[in-house]
Chains A and B, each alone.
Chain A
Amino acid sequence: MPEYTITVNGQQRKFSAEPDMPLLWALRDLLDLPGTKYGCGVGGCGACTVLLDGKEARSCLTTVAEVGKAKVTTIEGVSPDGSHPVQKAWVEHDVPQCGYCQPGKIMTVVALLAGNKNPTDKDIDDALGPHVCRCGTYERMRQAIKAAARGAK
């Protein structure tokens, strides 16, 4: 079985895996980072979203072999203590209901705000359009994103 060394949340992590193993399962099962969630396995819900070099990626569709030198950021690496403006806004607006898919949403929003300090409703729709939240937290997410954008300025 091939060995891989990838950078996750600023740390070099070494593991053995089949090359076609999705990054999702490497994070969860091999690297003890269970914050990233399995929702559908086909890139249809966004629950597994992580950042690769700051850009959002579905970890269920990204194989370990494809990660290469890209720096991986997971929900556990967004901040050491929940202090990222997006996390704070998520708490302030009490966005989550069941919470299962929220790490994926937060990763997408972290990437969105990193490149766009003042997202419009259309920008928010475009960024989160590919995600599903079965609890229907969309409106609170929109409010939290705008608050986070204000806070991050």
Chain B
Amino acid sequence: MSTTQISRRTFLGLVSVGGASFALGCYPCFSSSDGKDGVALEPNAFVRLDPDGTVTITVTKSEMGQGIKTGLAMIVAEHMDCDWSRVRVLQADGDRNKYGHQGTGGSSSTRSMHQQLAQMGAAARFMLMSAAAQEWGVDLKGCSTDNGHVYHEASGKSKPYGDLATIAAGLNVPSGDVPLKDKSEYRIIGKPTRRVDTPDIVTGKAVFAQDVKVPGATVGVVSRAPAFGASLRSFDDSAARRVPGVVDVVQISSGVAVLGENTWAAIKGRDALKVDWDLGPNASLDTAEIRRRLLDSVGEHPEMPAGSKVIEATYDYPYLAHYTMEPMNCVADVRSDSCTIWVPSQSPDQVQQYAAGVAGVPQSAVTVHCTLLGGGFGRRSQMDFVQDAVEASRKAKRPVKLLYTRDDDMRHDFYRPMSHHAMRGALDANGKPVGFNHQFISVRGNSSRAAGARGVHILYDIPGATMMMGSGASPIYVGAWRSVSNSQVNPSIEMFIDEMAHAAGKDPLQFRRENISDKRMLKILDLIEEKSGWGKPLPAGVSRGIALYDGYDARTAHVVEVSVEGSKIKVHRAVICIDTGTTINPMAVEMQLQGSCIDGISTALFAEVTIKNGGVVQHDPFDYEWIRMDQAPKTEVHIIESGDAPCGMGETGYPSAPAAVANAVFAATGKRVRKFPIRLDELV
């Protein structure tokens, strides 16, 4: 390498990131002698440098397709200043004592860990520079690093990191923060970087939980309650036990588990079970009844300013399933004094705690291997599949690969809640919004009428904007679903703002611009206006709609183009603009926004979970539709960085997408969407 490529960065010119303390950065130096050529540098639980130059970065958040293994490793590698081609990324086991909180959700992984991980990498870099300075007998201040080497410019000396590992391993780990690389010197963060798991995925080598080999493991499939609140009266397993390959049948909390030598035997055994269920108190519950309860809980909107033009609208959202491509599953091997688990979990540290209770062993005796997750979207933060696997293994005294069939997965989810939104707004004589009230009625254990309007911050400058919460009683299990309640609150606001713009006689984009003062969002509006060609003519029969979202620290906008052909709505193009703050991996940002746009369109147009006889009706990809290749629009993702800290990317692309579709449908038909999924004969 020529001297012109040597970074001139030295510690003299750098400042420390202030204040924050990172417990793991202060761990005593822990080195292992596992190679002939020296010992590895292992300054903390996240970084290891072997004498051969291999850098192993441990990622503690779960990989479910969002690219977090790559993104978090990029942060460590950047601040370690190592050679990315020498980096291996390990998925951490679930271990709260060692790694802290591992819950992967709320688009929080990068936001919550980037400073800590930068310090972990920087600590290793500091130690390698210190090692070089010691060996060369030079002042640390004259040393610099670049791409896995330490340089001393004055003497012209340089060494690859690996050659310094042994010496560095003998040094003290810095007890506080060390200086970080300046953003202007980044060569990994912000560069499009391919995901570390892709080569294994395309060759079939990537390991998902059901792929692990566990000697003596049986496959478990469970006969589950047909209705929420049902309880098991009795079962007859004589036919099931006669199915070739069925090994055992055990009763567990969620039903009756049939264990087979292979998956097919377990499925056939489950089908042969005779189970008598007491359907319980919800045996006649259906979607219409739950909707009635939601509507019964609508309260009184506050009065709007005197003399203003009042606008009202309601929006309904169905229950949604998560529908991950990999159905829920978990592998458990419970022994008298230990429990080993392989699980695709968004909370592997919580699995460790939870499984200890179910297995009846101390938490320290539970080993949790977190595999790749075949999709998460919030579903894999739940513990139901862990409970099933651990219980079945404990009862049967053998390892169990517990699998939800697709039908189980669809009908025993923790659904995105059904909700009803009642909106009232007001415009003055100039078309300026002067009143806004949003009643958000969702499903809960008990019904409660919306009341107590309280001030709420929304993206738009509307004086006295308020929100009211209410609920309709429902026993259907609910849980986090990509962007949680933002997935319903924001589309409601964005559809309603569109209705207000129309009532004011204004263009939907201009109306938004006139009533937003957030500078980052105003930039995004400018960008999407340009990139979408807003206001410019479209092909015959094509209309566009816009929607915005301000959440997970990011600013996001969608413009989608739709046409209505017969009874079908087709989305042709989606332009997505985002202010990421700081982009870690532009490729991952693009993928997350493309994926959440597909979710937005799928849930705007197709997906719906309905309830009949107290249970979920939908059970496979034919009755729970997600868009497919022939329905997927062209997408364009445009990224700007306002220079702030990195924002959440996993969820921010969803909450504007369905509203943009709905607003485009209005532009195409002159009729408003009141209910998802959108059906043309239900427009008003």
Contacts and interface: CB of A to CB of B under 8 A. Distances in A.
Contacts of A47: 325
Interface in A46-90: 47, 74-76, 78-79, 81-82, 87, 90
A10 interface: no
A102 B629 contact: no
Contacts of B372: 98-100
Contacts of B597: 136
B137 interface: no
Contacts of A139: 594, 632, 634-635
A29 B219 contact: yes
B263 A136 contact: no
Given A1-B244, A128-B629, A94 B195 contact: yes
Contacts of A29: 219, 262-264
Interface in A91-122: 91, 94-103, 106
A152 interface: no
Contacts of B587: 94
A97 B589 CA distance: 11
Interface string B620-644: 1110001111101011000000000
Interface string B658-677: 00000000000000000000
A45 B202 contact: no
B142 interface: no
Nearest to B601: A136
A133 B591 CA distance: 13
B373 interface: yes
Interface string B53-67: 000000000001111
Contact of A91 (B67, B202, B265, B376): B202
Pick from B262, B372, B377 the residue with the most CB of A within 10 Å. Answer: B262
A138 B325 CA distance: 14
Given A100-B326, A136-B632, A34 B210 contact: yes
B258 interface: no
Q: How large is the interface on A (under 10, 10 to 19, 20 to 34, 35 or more residues)?
A: 35 or more
B201 interface: yes
Interface in A22-42: 22, 25, 28-30, 32-42
B282 interface: no
Interface centre among B262, B325, B326, B627 (most CB of A within 10 A): B325
A90 B206 CA distance: 14
Interface in B326-358: 326-327
A137 B264 contact: no
A96 B198 contact: yes
A134 B406 contact: no
B204 A138 contact: no
A102 B202 contact: yes
B184 interface: no
B194 interface: yes
A25 B325 CA distance: 17
B262 A125 contact: no
B598 interface: yes
B324 A134 contact: yes
Contacts of A45: 325, 621
Contact of B621 (A25, A100, A132): A132
A42 B595 contact: no
B460 interface: no
B263 A103 contact: no
Contacts of B254: none
Nearest to A34: B211
Contact of A82 (B64, B199, B262): B199
A137 B626 CA distance: 12
A8 interface: no
Interface string B390-408: 0000000000000101100
A30 B262 contact: yes
A3 interface: no
Nearest to A96: B201
A34 B598 CA distance: 28
A82 B203 contact: yes
Nearest to A1: B244
Given A38-B263, A38-B403, A78-B203, 11 more contacts: A21-B262, A28-B211, A94-B587, A97-B65, A100-B325, A131-B628, A135-B591, A137-B594, A138-B629, A138-B632, A139-B634
Q: Which 6 A-B pairs have the closest CB atoms?
A: A35-B204, A136-B598, A100-B374, A98-B65, A97-B65, A44-B621
17 contacts: A1-B244, A18-B268, A25-B263, A76-B205, A79-B203, A94-B591, A98-B64, A98-B324, A98-B374, A99-B201, A99-B372, A126-B630, A135-B595, A136-B596, A136-B598, A136-B599, A138-B628
